[in-house]
Structure 1
Amino acid sequence: MFPGASAPRSEANYVVVGAPLDVSTSFQPGTRFGPDRIRKFAETFDDYDGRTDRRFSDLSVHDYGDVHAWNDVPEYVKHLSGVLRDVVWDDAVPLLLGGEHTVSAAGVRATDPDLFVTIDAHLDLREEYDGDEWSHACVTQRVLETAAEAIVVGARTGSEAEWARAAEGDVTVVPPEDTGAWLRAVAEGERDPFAGNTTYLSVDIDGADPGFAPGTGTMEPFGLTPREMRDVVRAVAPSCVGFDVVEVNDRDDGQAAALGGKLLREFVYERAATRTGSR
């Protein structure tokens, strides 16, 4: 169980769901261990958050457990989206723990947002990778079959075709070096992509510089700091209908999992603080 996620399912405002899919990881596998690893390395976090004056255990979070994964990825995504849609129908927010990034497609299908925001080192805008249209390298392209727009924060690599796709009007790329300015523009109202939009937020842990989170499948240097990722989560959380942390594996001493668990908690604290009196 994710620490503090002790609310009964029927009373939950937030529901943690593990999705240990590990099929298309193209370099270092191990995302099947991500959900339990995130839970484990969140055990040391204090329940109380001084910034928001809230206890995580008071925010009605339930841990559903894991949805067992299998190798037929389209069918798994379909099944997982049904589990998550039940969460949405119960007026709760799904908190998905991956697993490879492909599982975000299930979260988006279940929540049907206007806008997909992802922290990611990679554009993930390929139509297919090695002949597989359900590869984790294609997830943002798959998501855009449901969501109208995507914002990729922290992207610093992609194929030539992906960069051409990213130049189209439904995709915004915020490179690592521009993230601070983008956050300031959002905070000051110069740019408000969330106004009037429902949003799904996905955190691919490889958005972080690998010096901070080496436990991921496809490390890419020159990335975001944990504080920058935290600030993005805080900025996006109030408008969100769903959230995930993906691409954590078991190939470090817990840095990636600890960061993922902390960002999940930041999401819940921020969303709860800005939506007092509502679910």
Structure 2
Amino acid sequence: MFPGATASRDDAAYVVVGAPLDLSTSFRPGTRFGPERIRRFARPFDDYDRRTDLHFSDCSVHDHGDVRAWDDASEYLAWLAGELRDVVADDAVPLVLGGEHTVSAAAVEAVAPEVFVCLDAHLDLRRDLDGNEHSHATVTRRILDGGDPADSSDDAAAGVEAAVVLGARTGSPEEWDRAAAADVTVVAPEDVAEFDLRSWLDGRTAYLSVDVDAADPGFAPGTGTPEPFGLEPRVLRDVVRTVAPHAAGFDVVEVNDRDDGQAASLAAKLCREFVYSHAAGRE
């Protein structure tokens, strides 16, 4: 259980859901261990947050446990989206612990926000990676374009209005071409601290996704595709604090078991920062 997530499901304002998908990782696998590690490395944190004057255990957080992953990404994402729609239907905010970044597509489908805010080292705007459309490298493209790439029916989910990728520092030529479209904003690491997120949000409902590789790998080495010249943890924290009051859902993804807990500790702290900031914004 995520420490302090002591509320019953019926009373929950926030529901932690683990999504340990680990299929498409293209360098170092291990995201299947992410949810468990995030929970474990949250244990030392104090329950009380001085900035918001809130106790985490008083914020009505429930831990649903993990939605067990299997080896068909399309089927798993559809199932996960259904589980998360149940959370939204109960007027609770889903807090998804990944798992590879692919799981964010299911969460966004369930939450149906107007805009997608993503902290990420990578653009994730490919149509496919090595022929795989259900890849961690395609997730932002899927969220923008909407639905399952194989679903051409009239019931296929629509995409979000716009996406902002904060901290991106690498991508293919195809991805940079897609990033030039009007519905995408890319903010380089050195510009994130000064970027006016509040104006960009402009009253729209958001979904916030934190790929832990947005942080410089010196701070969070336990991730699948580490990319140097990234963000300092305080910058990620400030983004989470800014976006949380506008967000209807949150995830932190791409934590694996290839470090001594640095990435998991950062992920756990950012999850708690989201809850504190969101809860404070509701009061």
Task: Tell me the TM-score normalized by structure 2.
Answer: 0.95
Give matches, 1:207-218, under 5 Å.
207-218=214-225
* Paired position in structure 2 for 1:261: 268
Secondary structure at the aligned position of 1:142 is classed as helix
Secondary structure at the aligned position of 2:109 is classed as helix
Q: 2:77 & 2:249 partners in 1: Cα distance?
A: 16
- The answer to whether 1:248 aligns with 2:261 is no
Secondary structure at the aligned position of 1:97 is classed as strand
Residue 186 of structure 1 and its aligned partner are, at CA, apart by: 3.8
Q: 1:34 & 1:147 partners in 2: Cα distance?
A: 27
Q: Which amino acid aligns with 1:167?
A: A
Secondary structure at the aligned position of 2:124 is classed as coil
* Paired position in structure 2 for 1:151: 164
Q: Which amino acid aligns with 2:166?
A: V
- The answer to whether 1:174 aligns with 2:187 is yes
Residue 53 of structure 1 and its aligned partner are, at CA, apart by: 0.4
Residue 194 of structure 1 and its aligned partner are, at CA, apart by: 1.6
Q: What do residues 42-62 of structure 1 show as CA deviations (whole Å, max 9, x unaligned)?
A: 000000000110000000000
Q: 2:197 & 2:163 partners in 1: Cα distance?
A: 16
Q: What do residues 165-203 of structure 1 show as CA deviations (whole Å, max 9, x unaligned)?
A: 101000000110001110xx346xxxx122231100000
* Paired position in structure 1 for 2:239: 232
Q: What do residues 14-53 of structure 1 show as CA deviations (whole Å, max 9, x unaligned)?
A: 0000000000000000000000000000000000000110
Q: What do residues 4-23 of structure 1 show as CA deviations (whole Å, max 9, x unaligned)?
A: 00100000000000000000
- The answer to whether 1:101 aligns with 2:108 is no
Give unmatched runs, 5+ long, in structure 1.
Answer: none
Count, aligned residues: 270
Q: State percent identity of aligned pairs.
A: 68
Secondary structure at the aligned position of 2:220 is classed as coil
* Paired position in structure 1 for 2:154: none
Secondary structure at the aligned position of 1:210 is classed as coil
Q: What do residues 181-232 of structure 1 show as CA deviations (whole Å, max 9, x unaligned)?
A: 10xx346xxxx12223110000000000000000000000000000000000
Q: 1:236 & 1:63 partners in 2: Cα distance?
A: 22
Q: What do residues 100-120 of structure 1 show as CA deviations (whole Å, max 9, x unaligned)?
A: 000000100000010000000
Q: What do residues 52-82 of structure 1 show as CA deviations (whole Å, max 9, x unaligned)?
A: 1000000000000000001110110000000
Q: 1:65 & 1:208 partners in 2: Cα distance?
A: 26
Q: 1:129 & 1:61 partners in 2: Cα distance?
A: 36
* Paired position in structure 1 for 2:213: 206
Q: Which amino acid aligns with 2:182?
A: G
Task: Tell me the TM-score normalized by structure 1.
Answer: 0.96
Q: 1:274 & 1:76 partners in 2: Cα distance?
A: 33
Q: 1:186 & 1:141 partners in 2: Cα distance?
A: 21
Give matches, 1:35-50, under 5 Å.
35-50=35-50
Give unmatched runs, 5+ long, in structure 2.
Answer: 147-158
Tell me how large the CA RMSD over aligned residues is: 0.7
Secondary structure at the aligned position of 2:138 is classed as helix
Q: Which amino acid aligns with 1:235?
A: T
Q: 1:193 & 1:7 partners in 2: Cα distance?
A: 34
* Paired position in structure 2 for 1:271: 278
Q: 2:241 & 2:17 partners in 1: Cα distance?
A: 21
Q: Which amino acid aligns with 2:233?
A: P
* Paired position in structure 2 for 1:9: 9
- The answer to whether 1:221 aligns with 2:220 is no
* Paired position in structure 2 for 1:54: 54
